[in-house]
Amino acid sequence: MRYGNTILKFVWVIFLTITMTMNAYAAPKNAGKDEKGYFASGQILVHPRAGVDKKKFKNVLSAEGGVEESEIRGIKTRIVRVPVGQEKKVIGRLKKNKHVEFAELDRLVKPVFTPDDPTYPSQWHHTKIGSSSAWDVTQGDPNLIVAVLDTGVDSSHPDLADHMISGWNTASNSSDTTDIHGHGTAVAGTVAAIGNNSIGVSGVAMNVKIMPIRITDRTDGYATWSGIANGFTWAADHGARIATNSYEAHNSGSTMNNATGYLKDKGGVAFNSAGNTGAEQLYSDMPNLITVSATNSSDVRPSWSSFGSYVDLSAPGLSIYTTARGGGYMTAAGTSFSAPITAGIGALILSANPALTFDDVESILETTAVDIGDIGWDKYYGHGRVDAAAAVQMAQSYDPPVQDTIVPTSVITAPTSNLTVNGTVVVDVTSNDNIGVSKVDLYVNGGFYASDTAAPYSFAWDTTALGNADVTLVAHAFDQAGNKGLSSGVPVLVRNIIDNTPPVVSIINPADQATVSGRSLSISASASDNLSVSSMKLYIDGSLKTSTSSGSLSYNWNMKKVSDGAHSIMVEAFDPSSNKGTQIIEVIKSSGTSDGGGGKGGGRGKPNK
């Protein structure tokens, strides 16, 4: 064997890896910082309430100096540009706006990647998790797609190239998935490096397809919540059954819950690493994400592996030999590798039984895991260390739970019965199900209004078009099995002011049928309305000359080149309901010697129309 060249190359790869990783943990550039960490400067995430008119939502953002940059595919959350340094203040005001369901910072998160001292190439984790026995059943369905959400993947690596398919760059919205850091290539090899090819290493699911999704364009490795969320939804829309993400994205609020829920609804399963802080993290469990902490060869948690109530499972994460950017190999450590090892087992489970759902895969992984640490679930190892052999064996004959026939329950909590409302009204719905609610639809007097797919379920109901009406609101709640439950009807009294009265226009000068002469003519007009005047327009001989946003208008008409004879002057006025009032008069231009201009004679204006 060629130990000398191999070891020298290996040491050089590790040296480069350590350098890259040190950069990954440096403070990111162009970032804000608070007590929870870094966030993207001048950028926030905003989700409109269901039913909000696009123009109205744009006006809400504009009032805060915000500009919608893009929408996270599938979940309708907007990436919004705001003034740098004002991110938190803008969010605070938007949270109080009834047209906004939630607003949050677009935080920057780093890959949970810790370099390890080089050892001679070894993949001890396959023996620990029973990969060879699992491979007797399946080595991965060649048509199954695993999405790797990371810094890109080296598509020319000899242990990856033949199984690579097209992916996407959510940071630049392009097809460039080149690995700009090295982390992504290492993760990809852990989950799906090609086996039985006489070179390098074997991934847990060695025959599946790899879909690279680059979630960052930053060479320091940091990525935004929006980039990760876009990665999950893009993977879902392009056929991925498994998606693995090795970034600290657990405490990522509503945006990530919605994105992983979107993948789940499309039949996919998302995995995430627990983190490398070495401390307990007070994160809530994310129901649509399987979170994995690390173990060593003795089934003990390394000191750097994060832990807490959000941990579902544990998997090998120390001295993992895998692919390196540039075509080589490396040994590395971190929950960055525990997650893709578990994702690889998830791919084997779905290869053995493609009909399984997210809940099935999670149940199989947790049921077959080797219980280490405290008996039962614990915050260090979750339900235990993964066991590929047992999981694939169970998947073959897995009998899913009895089909769900229980309908969801829902209650409209706001507005209350017989409340008098007008304008835009926030409708809140509480909905529960024995397994999970997939969406809630709002019906107004029996007609569909809008749909919300993520709790808390909330709608912005625009009542202005109804005028004065007695309305009944009903919420329709659906679960993943298609069961539908209806709320009790809530009667609501809609009382909006309906304005059908147009403004009254008065042309003050000149008078109708006046004879005018001179170099110029001063024209003035006013308008009044039962509510308010929003704009006025002046036309001379059908040509628009000026406009104003108030109830008064003045204009100096240059008459030097105006021909003698009759000329029409028309003034239009509008109110906020677009009612229009008009007055038209006629004046007679006569060449004269006077330079003063102005109207001559009396006359009476034509009536308002």
360-401 pLDDT tens trace: 999 999 999 999 999 999 999 999 999 999 999 999 999 877
Q: Is the pLDDT of residue 451 over 70?
A: yes
**528 catalytic, yes or no?**
no
Instruction: Tell me if 55 sits within 8 A of 68, measured CB to CB.
Output: no
What are the residues facing 475 on neighbouring strands?
442
Q: Is the pLDDT of residue 359 over 80?
A: yes
Neighbours of 403 (CB within 10 A): 7
What pLDDT score was predicted for residue 476?
97
**567 catalytic, yes or no?**
no
Local confidence band at 594 (pLDDT 50, 70, 90 cut-offs): very low
Q: What would the mean pLDDT of 442-460 be, rounded to a whole number?
A: 95
Q: Is the pLDDT of residue 440 over 80?
A: yes
What pLDDT score was predicted for residue 113?
52
State the average pLDDT for the chain: 89
Cα gap 291→310, rounded to integer Å:
7
Q: Which of 163, 183, 250, 383 is catalytic?
A: 183
Neighbours of 514 (CB within 10 A): 19
Strands 290-295 and 313-316, how do they pair? Answer: parallel
What pLDDT score was predicted for residue 403?
78
- What domains can you pick out in the chain, each with its CATH number? 31-108 (3.30.70.80), 112-396 (3.40.50.200), 409-495 (2.60.40.10), 504-600 (2.60.40.10)
- Least confident span in 2-6, 196-200, 491-495: 2-6
CB half-sphere exposure, 155, CA atoms < 13 A: 16
308-356 pLDDT tens trace: 999 999 999 999 999 999 999 999 899 999 999 999 999 999 999 999 9
What pLDDT score was predicted for residue 467?
85
Q: What would the mean pLDDT of 551-580 be, rounded to a whole number?
A: 93
Assign residue 396 a region: left if phi > 0, alpha if psi is -120 to 50, beta otherwise? alpha
**Which residues contact residue 258 at a Cβ distance below 8 angstroms, ignoring those fewer than 6 apart?**
47, 75, 77, 229, 453, 454
455-497 pLDDT tens trace: 999 999 999 988 888 999 999 999 988 999 999 999 999 988 8
- Nearest residue to 264 (alpha-carbon basis) of 74, 47, 433, 78: 74
Q: Which of 106, 141, 150, 512 is catalytic?
A: 150
What pLDDT score was predicted for residue 14?
31
- Nearest residue to 436 (alpha-carbon basis) of 480, 486, 482: 480
What pLDDT score was predicted for residue 13?
33
As a three-state string, the secondary structure of 258-318 is HHHHHHHHCCCEEEEECCCCCCECCCCCCCCCEEEEEECCCCCCCCCCCECCCCCEEEECC
Give, in order, the Cα–Cα distances in Å from 296 to each of 124, 278, 320, 381, 581: 10, 14, 10, 12, 81
Cα gap 204→242, rounded to integer Å:
13
CB half-sphere exposure, 401, CA atoms < 13 A: 12
Instruction: Tell me if 90 sits within 8 A of 60, measured CB to CB.
Output: no
Q: Is the pLDDT of residue 524 over 50?
A: yes
Q: Which of 336, 431, 458, 534 is catalytic?
A: 336
Cα gap 347→351, rounded to integer Å:
6
With vertex at residue 150, the alpha carbon angle to CA 145 and CA 155, rounded to the nearest 5 degrees, is 65
Q: What would the mean pLDDT of 78-97 be, rounded to a whole number?
A: 95
Q: Report cis status (omega within 30 of 0) of the bond before 456.
A: yes
209-256 pLDDT tens trace: 999 999 999 888 889 999 999 999 999 999 999 999 998 777 667 888
Neighbours of 596 (CB within 10 A): 9
Give, in order, the Cα–Cα distances in Å from 521 to each of 90, 348, 355, 524, 572: 49, 86, 82, 10, 19
Local confidence band at 122 (pLDDT 50, 70, 90 cut-offs): low
Give, in order, the Cα–Cα distances in Å from 19 to each of 23, 306, 568: 6, 23, 80
Give the whole-number percent of the chain exceeding pLDDT 70.
90
Collapsing DSSP to helix, strand or coil, 530 comes out as coil
**Which residue type occupies 480?**
Q
Q: Is the pLDDT of residue 606 over 60?
A: no
What pLDDT score was predicted for residue 527?
96
Instruction: Tell me if 466 sits within 8 A of 496, measured CB to CB.
Output: yes
Neighbours of 604 (CB within 10 A): 9
**336 catalytic, yes or no?**
yes
**Rounded to a whole number, what is the largest CA-CA distance in the chain?**
114
Local confidence band at 500 (pLDDT 50, 70, 90 cut-offs): confident
What pLDDT score was predicted for residue 220?
81
Q: Is the pLDDT of residue 531 over 90?
A: no
